[in-house]
Structure 1
Amino acid sequence: MDITFTTIPPKKIIGLAITTCLEKDSEVTSQLWRNFINRKATIQNQLNQNSLSVKVTDTQFSFKDSKSSYQKWAAVEVFDFYNIEKPLASTTLAGGQYAVFTFKGPAQNFPTIFFKVINDSLPQSGYQIDLNREQFEVLDVNYHPYDINAQEEVWIPIK
């Protein structure tokens, strides 16, 4: 797996957000995305057709604690914030330095690869995950979580 390191500016996003934990992530995520997809077309000023799956954590969050809470977003990147219809919300991703790789396969296989990257690949490269910034995946318009050929562009904030 090829990991690249890059720095990006802040990103404006509009979408739906919920608070969840690792223990409930899969059941909550599917409901979040069903609700979001029904509203995606109403979002004006979209930068492209991609969707973003965003995880917002803080220094209290721990991947080792399945009950550790975080905010999860289903969103799109936008040029600007205007005409945001309820229950949609907006936020700005902080930007900064990221480790980027492409994950291929069904979503159920993602955690294994993700933990390998944050526990092995990043430390071997002299980095660690930055829990004060957002981690996100870019999903193209044809993405389906059960597809064995699905691809996600994974962005992990690093320090």
Structure 2
Amino acid sequence: MRINLRRAAAATAAVTLLTLGFAQAPAQAATTWSTTGVAGAHAQGTTYVKYSYVYVKGYVKDTACDGKYAQVTITFVPGTVFDSPPRTEKPNTKGHGCGFVRHFTYRSHLSNGWGRVTAYECRRNSNGITNVCGPRVTIWKS
């Protein structure tokens, strides 16, 4: 029995492409978000859904050279039919100084019942006391 290597390679490639194609779940188009901004802090990024997870990617930047640090608060808020508490993440630039950018990625499974994700940024002094915060904005809705 003689095996045609070209046919075997083509068949293997076809099976691989089909397998990978079916394994890839289509991702929701990414939505760009940006907080409204407060003096010395800026945050922006994207949100999208992929493989039943909601992703929040972005950065927070210290835009002032005043000894304070920038922080963004990302909150996964449950929908109305779920009793789970909100999940909050607070990436910041503490200890890094003027112009520093902190990149972050958070994800959470949609089965947690998230209805929306919100964000707002703040300026804080070195011991964490809030000086000023911007308004909370919704960056993703189910």
Does TM-score exceed 0.5, indicating one fold? no
TM-score, length of structure 1 as denominator length:
0.29
| Larger relative helix fraction | 1
Relative CO higher for 1 or 2, CA cutoff 8 Å, sep ≥ 6? 1
